[in-house]
């Protein structure tokens, strides 16, 4: 199995996250918690992606030998531009939500909005939004005993309710 140019990018991410994991093991318990919580799942996904790319190439070679060469679909530049703009708008929406209401409220609002805009079922949308919120809460607030950015409006609402 020979590595090709397109495999090096995935291999870079595998090695990058491995270096972060190994480096953070030398830190104190509290200092290494966040890098490990973030980099271990990223490392697992990077290894999986590298494996998939290697397998995809082997399957393409097998089908090419059999005469069933698959062609990638060409995407129209107008469609590509629309997709790019849509992605940028979703990112800006998420950043605005984080700025306004903070991470813990922005995550379920964003996930629910995105999934419903892409015509997913209500059950799956609510389940994913709740799961993401629970995972972030457990990893960062419970696991690391840290606070996340609360946004502009949450402290104002809390202050108004206390008066």
What is the pLDDT at residue 33? 83
Q: State pTM to two decimals.
A: 0.64
What is the pLDDT at residue 147? 87
What is the pLDDT at residue 139? 84
Question: Rounded to 5 degrees, what are φ and ψ at 148?
Answer: -105, 160
| b/e map 113-138, b = 16+ CB within 10 Å | bbbeeeebeeeebbebbeeebeeeee
The Cα 122–Cα 100 span in angstroms is 25
Average of per-residue pLDDT across 84-110: 96
What is the pLDDT at residue 60? 60
| 7 CB neighbour count, 10 Å cutoff | 15
Average pLDDT of the residues of the chain: 87
Residue 122 CB contacts under 8 Å (≥ 6 apart), including other chains: 116
| 108 CB neighbour count, 10 Å cutoff | 20
Residue 71 banded pLDDT, cuts 50, 70, 90? low
Mark residue 120 as left, alpha or beta (left: phi above 0; alpha: psi -120 to 50; beta: remaining).
beta
């Amino acid at each position: 199995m020979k590595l090709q140019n397109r495999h090096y990018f995935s291999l870079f991410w595998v090695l990058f996250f491995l270096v972060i994991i190994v480096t953070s093991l030398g830190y104190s318990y509290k200092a290494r918690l966040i890098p490990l919580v973030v980099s271990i799942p990223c490392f697992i996904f990077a290894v999986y992606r590298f494996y998939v790319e290697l397998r995809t190439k082997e399957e393409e070679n097998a089908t090419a030998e059999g005469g069933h060469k698959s062609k990638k679909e060409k995407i129209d530049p107008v469609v590509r531009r629309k997709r790019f703009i849509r992605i940028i708008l979703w990112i800006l929406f998420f950043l605005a939500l984080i700025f306004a209401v903070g991470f813990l409220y922005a995550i379920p609002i964003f996930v629910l909005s995105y999934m419903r805009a892409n015509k997913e079922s209500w059950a799956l949308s609510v389940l994913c939004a709740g799961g993401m919120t629970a995972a972030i809460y457990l990893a960062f607030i419970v696991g690391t005993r840290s606070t996340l950015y609360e946004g502009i409006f949450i402290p104002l609402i809390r202050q108004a309710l206390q008066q």
